[in-house]
Amino acid sequence: MPALTAGPLGGPLDGLFVGLISGTSADGIDAALVRFTHHPGDRDAVELLLGRTYAWDDALRTRLVALGQGSDAQSLDELGTLDVQIAQAFADATRRLLSEAGVAADEVRAIGSHGQTVRHRPEGARFDGRHPFTWQMGDGGLIAERTGIATASDFRRRDVAAGGHGAPLLPALHAALLSNPDEDRAVLNLGGIANFTLLPMDGHVRGFDTGPANCLLDAWCLRHTGAAYDAGGSFAAQGELDAELLVRLLDEPWFMLPPPKSTGREHFHLKWVERRLDGEESPADVQATLLELSAITVAGPASAGAAARRAACSTPARRCCCWPTWVRASCSKWSSRALPPEMKYLLVLAVLWVAIWLWRKNRREEMRDAMRERAAKAQQQQQRTAAGTPQAMVRCAHCGLHLPATEAIADPSGAVYCSTAHREAAARQ
């Protein structure tokens, strides 16, 4: 049972929670039932009770993948329908998970639902930084109604609104579960998009995307073999690395951006690949080259210029690594250590972590609002009680209006005004 520091969540955790997410590849809905246990005076603990991946309806997945790869919706009605269909699928996944676990809905405190990302533009649709956004579909309200469980959703947009990228989600949880003050560590997550979490000993945690992991491989494999993914890498094994194509693929401005950065299928999709083909490549050679692209961009940022990247093409990706030495050592150590299969659900735990933090934050805000409302009512009652008592009157220093002293606004000098606007007007004179 891994230990989880509860500090960022604002207090102790206790009870059962469900986490839901569908990643960039849209290859299924990952669902996890988790128990948090609070230990006073010690770190809270988290236990994965059951984790499952439930397949999407084939037609719905096809539409989601197309949207994620830059296809446009035909109408607002289509988008609204997709939002409901995704939420229904997430609710069904929750019910199936709880049924398999033998847990009743009323035993679960909350659901954290990430939804399905259909567009991620942290630099804006025009890449000018003016209107950044990220969009995850799957109505949390519908999930709550269908399951009878309080649901937190739509987490990423607040981070984008605050100037962040809204991705990746994992670094905070990696830091809680995997950091070590005596050892520099790095954690690599290979989904549709690859992302790194760097956990140096000094505690300065960083997380960022490195580029496509399996999204291009899956899409190319589906087009040319009919299979949703390249099982065992057999399709790629039939081809050979095309060094010239790899150079053209690496000549992508996004790879040159410094971290932090994030991306998605709306950037790296089949049309992006097709624009870099000369028409002579065999499908298997393209698959092998896309595999090398994923490996080489994970191995290190392509920031040394085109010449260096051309030199890198002759070097197997496993040896072309320009991350700091401690990162290379950490990656090697962790890959040889082989994390247990249930660590796949770390991302679902991250979703839960964010969801619970938001839930508690909203509860605190609700409590503060309630306290303010009670205080305002008490003040109004006091004013009504004192209504029959003569009140001191004062004169606005700007317009000469007389008003009760309790309603006047004073400046630092002690002068009083009938409104904030008149106080500011007097200050400008």
CATH number of the domain within which 275 lies:
3.30.420.40
Residue 27 resides in a domain? yes
Residues 145 and 285 in one domain: no
Residues 67 and 140 in one domain: yes
Domain of residue 194: give its range.
187-339
Confirm if 122 and 165 have CB atoms less than 8 A apart.
yes
Residues 152 and 288 in one domain: no
Residues 113 and 206 in one domain: no
* Helix, strand and coil in the chain, % to nearest 5: 45, 20, 35
Residue 61 resides in a domain? yes
Residue 385 resides in a domain? no
Tell me the sheet residues that pair with 110: 17
State the pLDDT at residue 336: 38
Residue 178 resides in a domain? no
State the pLDDT at residue 5: 36
Whose CA is closest to 94, among 85, 81, 103?
Answer: 103
C-alpha distances in angstroms, 30 versus 90, 259, 363? 9, 28, 27
Whose CA is closest to 414, among 426, 402, 401?
Answer: 426
Residues 15 and 64 in one domain: yes
Residues 76 and 217 in one domain: no
Residue 400 resides in a domain? yes
Residues 263 and 308 in one domain: yes
Whose CA is closest to 34, among 54, 15, 61, 56?
Answer: 15
Cα 405 off chain centre by:
51
State the pLDDT at residue 3: 35
Task: Extract the residue ranges of the chain whose pLDDT is less than 70.
Answer: 1-13, 39, 41-44, 70, 125-127, 166-170, 172-173, 176, 300-371, 374, 377-378, 380-391
State the pLDDT at residue 264: 82
Residues 233 and 249 in one domain: yes
Residue 177 resides in a domain? no
3 state DSSP class of 232: helix
The pair phi, psi for residue 103, each rounded to 5°, is -115, 135
Residues 274 and 214 in one domain: yes
Residues 151 and 278 in one domain: no
Amino acid at 277: L
Residue 421 resides in a domain? yes
Confirm if 93 and 54 have CB atoms less than 8 A apart.
yes
Residue 378 resides in a domain? no
Please, what's the b/e burial string for 88-116 (b: 16 or more CB within 10 A of its CB; e: otherwise)? bbbbbbbeebbeebebeeeebbbbbbbbb
Count: domains in the chain: 3
Cβ-proximal residues to 365 (8 Å cutoff; 6+ apart), any chain:
none
C-alpha distances in angstroms, 427 versus 318, 398, 409? 67, 10, 13
End-to-end CA distance of the chain: 68
Residues 152 and 218 in one domain: no
Residues 97 and 36 in one domain: yes
Amino acid at 300: G
Confirm if 355 and 155 have CB atoms less than 8 A apart.
yes
Dmax (CA) of the chain: 95
